[in-house]
Amino acid sequence: MVQNAPHAALFLLVALVAPAASAIPDGLLPNGNFEETPAKSQLNGTRVMGRYAIPHWEISGFVEYIGPGQKQGDMILPVPEGAYAVRLGNEASIRQRLAVTRGARYSVTFSAARTCAQAEELNVTVAPESDILPIQTVYTSSGWDSYSWAFKARHSAVTLIVHNPGVTEDPACGPLLDAFAIKTLHPPALTKDNMLRNGDFEEGPYIFPDVPWWVLVPPLDEDDYSPLSPWMVLSTTKSVKYLDAAHYTVPHGAHAVELLSGVETALVQDVATVVGRPYRLEFSTGDAGDGCAGSLFVRAYAARGSVTVPHESQGKGAHKRGVLDFTAIANRTRVVFVSMAYTMKNDGTLCGPVLDDVSLVGLHSHAARRFLL
């Protein structure tokens, strides 16, 4: 017994260290792209029969396993990642248990496409958080969009559930899903020279390194944790697009946001201010070099001030700085950005101005210094 003591101590040490080491790494979830197939005996046509038939996933309800060449009427259903995807019928869901770090924040990225149903929503849950994501608007010509959603881990193991809350006449009509990935979020700290956090949009959801190089950030309730936190996307159904500098013209750093849906969507952040003090809001805007040509307009609001920055876009990537000086009228000031126009690319998909490198500073210190000199 005595001889075993050092081993016991070692075991204890390993056990204490192990939970952190086993938390899920950034990237594709286990079988996140559904390329590990169910056994043939678990399928009836495309319908998945067994609850645990798809490796690493648990299903409930009418779930189909969609392979190459699968048709919907006369149309072949395209699969965005690899050869396989799943489709959730009426009230069906898929879930996966995730090993995470308790207290950490995560964002989940996945691809979704509508098929024949009018149920254009997905219910994404990691208890106790649950949100209905609108997937009504299609932002790509392929029909597949990449969505993000964020949660705070309340336990070291959580269950991600994606559920189709829709009920339609054809039980098979529902959204297609593919390519699930996860990323640990590091909530941005305040810096000395900016009263806004994450002003450069460097902290955000997972973007696949191959395709499509962007991800939608859908609208959420104001008290939910946003993948772009502390920025919030406010809209009834429309998203903003989070872009990667490797494939888009981004004014500063590695990421930016594209405002896609005119005045229907606002990107906002609340900041503590002092009533009566002057502040300066600055930002970069332009086009992402993604063929979004036309007259683009970003409007910024803060307190009683607003400024509109026009950009005649050739769709080749150019940007400029916008400035808004305002005086705070409350303890908290909501900084708001909207796109004032609806623009479409040649392929008929929605696009809009990019926004990046947003900063807010108090002007009182400069004014005071000027008086002293």
Ligand X SMILES: *[C@@H]1O[C@H](CO)[C@@H](O)[C@H](O)[C@H]1NC(C)=O
Helix (H/G/I), strand (E/B), else coil: 239: coil
Q: How far is the CB of 162 from ligand X (least distance, A)?
A: 9
Which residues, numbered 58-117, are part of the site for ligand X (CB under 6 A)?
Answer: none
Q: How far apart (Å, rounded) are the C-alpha atoms in residues 300 and 265? A: 13
What span, in angstroms and rounded, lies between the C-alpha atoms of 233 and 111? 19
For ligand X, the binding residue among 4, 44, 236, 365 (CB under 6 A) is: 44
Report the site for ligand X in 118-147 (rule: CB under 6 A).
123, 125, 130, 132
Return the number of the residue (116 or 161) whose C-beta is nearest ligand X: 161
Toward ligand X, which CB reaches closer, 77 or 328?
A: 328
The amino acid at residue 325 is D
The CA radius of gyration of the chain, in Å to the nearest whole number, is: 23
Q: Nearest distance from residue 169's CB to ligand X, in Å?
A: 16
Q: Are strands 71-72 and 105-113 parallel, antiparallel or unpaired?
A: unpaired
Judged by CB under 6 A, which of 331, 365, 368, 369 binds ligand X? 331
Shortest CB 103 distance to ligand X, Å = 22
Record the tokens describing residue 110, joined without a space.
């996945």
Nearer to ligand X, 101 or 123 (CB): 123
Three-class DSSP category at 16: helix
Judged by CB, which is closer to ligand X: 161, or 336? 161
Among 330, 344, 366, 367, binds ligand X (CB under 6 A): 330
Rounded to a whole number of angstroms, the minimum distance from the CB of residue 38 to ligand X is 14
Residue closer to ligand X, measured from CB, 131 or 357: 131
Nearer to ligand X, 4 or 331 (CB): 331
**Least separation in angstroms between CB 146 and ligand X:** 21
Cβ-contact 192, 218 below 8 angstroms: no
Map residue 322 onto helix, strand or coil.
Answer: strand
Closer of 121 and 203 to ligand X (Cβ)? 121
| Beta pairing partners, 47 | 44, 64
Nearest CB to ligand X, comparing residues 132 and 318: 132
Task: Give the Cα-Cα-Cα angle 79, 82, 87 (nearest 5 degrees).
Answer: 40
Whether residue 67 contacts residue 76, with contact meaning beta carbons closer than 8 Å, is answered with no
Range 184-243, binding ligand X (CB under 6 A): none
Closest distance of CB 224 from ligand X, Å: 14
Q: Least CB distance from residue 303 to ligand X, whole Å? A: 12
Residues 150-189 that bind ligand X (CB under 6 A): 161, 163, 165
Residues binding ligand X: number (CB under 6 A): 11
Peptide bond before residue 30 is cis, with ω within 30 degrees of 0: no
Closest distance of CB 151 from ligand X, Å: 13
Distance between start and end Cα atoms, the chain: 79
CA distances from 176 to 49, 64, 182, 302 (A): 17, 9, 19, 40
Closest among 152, 118, 158 to 136, alpha carbons compared: 118
Find the helix or strand (DSSP H, E) in which 266 lies: strand 266-272
Q: Are 338 and 279 in contact (CB under 8 A)?
A: no
Shortest separation between residue 84's beta carbon and ligand X, angstroms: 20
Q: Which is nearer to ligand X, 42 or 142 (CB)?
A: 42
Query: Which residues are at the interface with ligand X (CB under 6 A)?
Result: 44, 123, 125, 130, 132, 161, 163, 165, 275, 330-331
